[in-house]
Amino acid sequence: MTISLVASEPDAKGVKVENAESVRTVRGTTLLKRGFAHMQKHGVVMDVTSVEQAQIAEEAGAVAVMVLDKLPYDVRKAGGVARTASIKVIEEIMDAVTIPIMAKCRIGHIDEARVLQVTGVDMIDESEVLTPADEERHIWKWDFTTPFVNGARNLGEALRRIEEGAAMIRTKGEPGTGNVAEAVTHIRMVNNEIRRIRSHYQDGDKQELMKAAREMKVSYAIVEETAKLGRLPVVNFAAGGITTPADAAFLMNLGCDGVFVGSGIFKSEDPAQRARAVVLATTFYDDPKVVRDAQKMVDEKKSLLGLDTKNLELRMQERGQSA
């Protein structure tokens, strides 16, 4: 089995058994949820706010689109409370493109998530880009048939989200800034922490693994599985601040399974070209000549100018830190 089933809840409410055409079928299993995320690997998920943008994204080779009311850069500018996107827009996009549709709900907002599930989106992002609805807890995602993706800045956050039922993890980065530095910090942090527990695992030092589990407030089983695999037990994407093809290649080379691009594409002045170029660089991340060709397709003068991540009024990555 190449999909880890660690921490899964076999009798979870999200699992649905039925008999169709006298054949027993099961939906909403851990294998199907994590399997969906595996199908996104080596791909680029693009943030979109309209049917037109979704079609540009699909044409450019996006593996899925993430529907938002406002791009993260505009969420910062607008201030106020950011909530899930208009259902009407989500439905229009579902009817217009063939690739999977993802949408964001607020952290802890169980009923925004339920609404997205019955709308039929393919994956729900419980996202810090929106204003958290519950300061104490995240959604118990095993109750859902729809798979979830969650953000994380370190291994503890990632494993806590997986134990709550997340089928996919992404770095939090610092969305809407055009600066990839925070995403790089987060992926390096996760990689280093995994390397540390892996060496304890290889030494057979279970006491150190138990200590790590207690520090991270997660089960021993998930720490041991992660240490054994030498990677997160679910697909891990990069997100937050990716703006150029080279940014995408950089994060792929750091070991990410794929990338999310938020404001970087549709806040640039060359979205269609840039979208295509980011897809190419993500696929051929280890071939500098193709990444160069992809970089040539974009004009740096047309990139999102970006924001200084040191002096932000709102640090989205710090949202939803609770255990």
Partner 1 sequence: MSKKSSVAIGVLGFQGDIEENVAAVKQAAKEMKASATVQLVRYPEEMEKMDGLILPGGESTVQSSLAAIQQSLPVLKKRIAEGMPVLGTCAGMIMLSRRAYDRVVGDTKQKMIGNLDIVVERNAFGRQNDSFEADLDIGIVGKGKFKGIFIRAPAVSEVGKDVEVIAKHGSKIVAVKQKNIIGTAFHPELADDARMHKYFLKMVLDYRKGKA
Catalytic residue positions?
A: 104
Task: State the DSSP string of 4-49.
Answer: --TT--TT-TT-EEEEETTEEEEES-HHHHHHHHHHTTT-EEEEES
Contacts of residue 30, Cβ cutoff 8 Å, sequence gap at least 6: 5, 8, 9, 10, 167
Residues 41-100 touching partner 1, rule: CB under 8 A, are 41-43, 58, 61-64, 94-100
**Any residues with CB less than 8 A from the CB of 192 and at least 6 apart, and which?**
none
Is position 152 an interface residue for partner 1 (rule: CB under 8 A)? no
Q: Provide, rounded to whole angstroms, the least separation between the CB of residue 110 and partner 1.
A: 17
Facing residues of 126 across strands? 105, 150
- Which residue among 9, 32, 74, 181 contacts partner 1 (CB under 8 A)? 32
Torsion of Cα atoms, 278 then 147 then 106 then 257, to 10°:
-30
Nearer to partner 1, 3 or 87 (CB): 3
Within 8 A by CB and 6+ apart from 33, the residues are: 147, 148, 167
Rounded distance between C-alpha atoms, residue 223 and residue 284, angstroms: 32
Q: Least CB distance from residue 51 to partner 1, whole Å?
A: 12
- Please tell me whether residue 255 binds partner 1 under the rule CB under 8 A: no
Closer CB to partner 1, 7 or 102, in the complex: 102
Helix (H) or strand (E) holding 264: helix 263-266
Work out how close the CB of 307 gets to partner 1 at its nearest, in angstroms, rounded to a whole number.
30
Compute the distance between CA of residue 261 and CA of residue 66 in angstroms, rounded to an integer: 9
| Under rule CB under 8 A, residue 25 binds partner 1 | yes
Nearer to partner 1, 145 or 321 (CB): 145
Cβ closer to partner 1: 28 or 176? Answer: 28
User: Per rule CB under 8 A, is residue 142 in the interface with partner 1?
Assistant: no
For residue 289, the minimal CB distance to partner 1 (Å) is 11
Cα–Cα distance between 116 and 90 in angstroms, integer?
A: 9
Of 15-23, 128-136, 189-197, 299-307, the segment contacting partner 1 by CB under 8 A is 15-23
Structure tokens at 57: 């994204």
As measured in angstroms, the least distance from the Cβ of 190 to partner 1 is 19
Q: Are 238 and 256 in contact (CB under 8 A)?
A: yes
Residues 115-134, one symbol each (x = binds partner 1 by CB under 8 A, - = not), give --x--xxxx-----------
Give first-to-last CA distance, the chain, whole Å: 30
Applying CB under 8 A, which of residues 10, 11, 21, 308 lies at the interface with partner 1? 21
Tell me if 23 contacts partner 1 by CB under 8 A. yes
What does the alpha-carbon distance between residue 213 and residue 215 come to, in Å, rounded to a whole number? 5
Q: How far is the CB of 280 from partner 1 (least distance, A)?
A: 8
Candidate list 36, 148, 201, 260; residue touching partner 1; CB under 8 A: 36
Contacts of residue 53, defined as CB under 8 A and 6 or more positions apart, other chains included, come to 46, 65, 266, 271
With contacts defined by CB under 8 A, how many residues of the chain interact with partner 1?
A: 48
Q: Which residues of the chain form contacts with partner 1 (CB under 8 A)?
A: 1-3, 20-29, 31-32, 35-36, 38-43, 58, 61-64, 94-101, 117, 120-123, 145-147, 279-280, 283-284
